[in-house]
Structure 1
Amino acid sequence: MSETPRRPAGREDGRAARARATRSRITTAATELFTTAGYTTTSITAVAARAGVSEQTVYYAFGTKRAILAAALDLAIAGDDEPVPTLERPWVRDALADPDPLAQLRCQVAGAGDIYLRAAQLLDVVRSAATTDPDLAEVWATNIDQRLAVQRVFAEALARKTPLRDGLPTHVAADIALTILSPETYNLLVGTRGWDHSRWRSWATDALIRLLTTLS
């Protein structure tokens, strides 16, 4: 979830377009390897071979394996390589702007679900590797902080639209949403317990309504 400024309007020159395409090939190849072979056992050599580029090209584009993983994760979460922060994404803007609190929660869950359809496996790679790799522990902590920041904005917007259950403070509401809409919960229910995606969406929406609001 990059916080870098938007790319200036206008067509890219050929060199920049080729660089973007190369980075995309590398991150795609790395994602395939990280989610099948694991992060620790995947080498730069293997990523370069899968992407069809030289190792030097990989190092030039990213520098380190950690940087490749971070870029791949950003790409999977966003769904594209446009440098647009999560809170400026159309689905988030639509959810925040909707005056109906139930519609906001449904959109909130749908947006998180779309991210996990793309990124759940890769997020699990980061979470698992973070237990033994200090660099990835930092990546994982940053990801949690980013998700929490988004949920706090959602919680504040929800509180403006409807009273929260039992006078719940918005920071606690954000913690609850962070838990319900976490990749750990998604992977447990969908990946381990075999729920389909639509069942998870229904459950998560109902849980947020019941835990955060007095609505039904």
Structure 2
Amino acid sequence: MATPNEDDKTPARRKILTAARTLFTTTGYASTTIKAIAAEAGVAVQTVYFVFGNKRSVLAALLDVSIAGDDEPIATLDRPWVAEAVAEPDPMAQLRIQVHGARLILDRVGPVLLAVRAAAGADPEVAQLWATTCEHHETVLRHLTTALAEKVDGLDVDRCVDVGLALQSPETHALLIDERGWSATDYDDWVVEALAFAAGIAN
């Protein structure tokens, strides 16, 4: 199988990321080799190296695409759902918008995040990737919570961010939706209610 040229790079990239997602979330990051990713994707090993360079870069790209939901280089803070939440004057409506948007991200990236966390203890580069991803999550949540604080008197931003990080973690999402069988609506409603309570919003 020939190494792709630049015109073939994007289709190959998508195949590789799809394969990597399957293997990282089933076999685990540490146990997955570039050779295995190539075989799962139906491309040559050198194709994976040509497109990404190494396994850690495959993981980083998979995280980026899973969080964004597309290949567009648009940061989460610049996504329409974040702007919509911040602009919403009603605090409960803002919570519903931001919780729904965050849950859609967790639907896509949650299993990958769990694989990253599992591998972080034995791989310093993956540990750094995990830390960076957690910092990004907190930055987005703090941005939204700061906007909410402008609509709710006395809101404790730090406490609400802490509660949001706990409720919208990949572990909580996986426990309630994947293991306990909650629907997406049930999960969203619960997170909204809990965040509203933490924020001191009267229903």
Please, what TM-score do these two structures have when normalized by structure 1? 0.87
- The aligned counterpart of 2:152 is 162
User: What stretches of structure 1 move > 3 A for 4+ residues in a row?
Assistant: none
Correspondence for 1:54: 44
Q: What is the 5 A alignment of 1:38-53?
A: 38-53=28-43
Q: Which moved more, 1:78-87 or 1:47-56?
A: 47-56
1:192 paired to 2:179? yes
Distance 1:119 1:47, change over 3 A: same
Q: 1:16 to 1:97 in 2, by over 3 A?
A: farther
2:82 equivalent in structure 1: 92
1:120–1:187 CA contact under 8 A, matched in 2: yes
- Structure 2 unpaired stretches of 5+: none
2:159 maps to amino acid: V
1:24-35 correspondence to structure 2 within 5 Å? 24-35=14-25
Structure 2 partner of 1:9: none
How far apart, CA to CA, are the structure 1 residues paired with 2:148 and 2:58? 36
1:17 Cα shift?
5.1
Distance in 1 (alpha carbons) for counterparts of 2:137 and 2:156? 18
> Structure 1: any 5+ residue segments left out of the alignment?
1-14
**Shift of residue 188, structure 1, vs aligned partner:** 2.0
Give the Cα separation in 2 of the matches to 1:27 and 1:35: 12
Question: 1:193 deviation in Å?
Answer: 2.7
Aligned counterparts, 1:1-216, within 5 A: 18-163=8-153, 167-216=154-203
Contact 1:154 1:174 in 2 (8 A): no
Question: Structure 2 CA distance, aligned partners of 1:93 and 1:56?
Answer: 41
* 1:54 CA displacement: 1.2
Could you state the TM-score of these two structures normalised by the residue count of structure 2?
0.92
